[in-house]
């Protein structure tokens, strides 16, 4: 089992969810996050309009570390499903510009469904 974690632009969440549902991913978790990559949160192609960020610009806080609002989604899938999950996330989020996001694939030792006590792959289905 692997956990696929993706940081994506906020406005791509619905299309990403639909794409993952379309390939049979039954469940995802979404968290609203803020962060920055190597672009250091500077305006550009990655700059998503957000009132808090605009206020920072207007106050001329050039030395402040700027964070860009994003969405972090996570799902745990069987190893064989990882390539199609990653491809779907790329397909629904890739613009070719800085700020498209990142995908992380992490090993998962076990999963347990609380309701039934099922574990491993049975807990994912």
- Cβ–Cβ < 8 Å for 35, 67: yes
Asked if residue 74 has pLDDT above 80, the reply is: yes
- Cβ–Cβ < 8 Å for 104, 5: yes
Asked if residue 54 has pLDDT above 70, the reply is: no
Asked if residue 61 has pLDDT above 90, the reply is: no
Residues counted in the chain:
125
Provide φ and ψ at 99, rounded to 5°. 100, 5
Place 26 in a pLDDT band, splitting at 50, 70 and 90.
confident
> What is the domain range of residue 91?
2-123
In whole angstroms, give the CA distance from residue 3 to residue 107.
6
In this prediction the pTM is 0.80
Question: What is the total count of domains within the chain?
Answer: 1
């Amino acid at each position: 089992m692997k956990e696929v974690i993706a940081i994506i632009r906020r406005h791509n969440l619905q299309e990403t969810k639909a794409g993952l549902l379309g390939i049979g991913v039954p469940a995802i978790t979404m968290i609203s996050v803020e962060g920055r990559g190597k672009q250091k949160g500077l305006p550009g192609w990655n700059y998503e309009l957000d009132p808090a960020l605009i206020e920072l610009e207007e106050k001329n806080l050039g030395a402040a570390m700027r964070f860009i609002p994003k969405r972090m989604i996570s799902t745990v899938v069987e190893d064989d499903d990882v390539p199609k999950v990653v491809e779907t996330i790329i397909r629904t989020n890739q613009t070719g510009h800085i700020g498209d996001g990142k995908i992380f694939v992490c090993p998962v030792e076990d999963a347990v469904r609380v309701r039934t006590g099922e574990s491993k792959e049975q807990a994912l289905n």
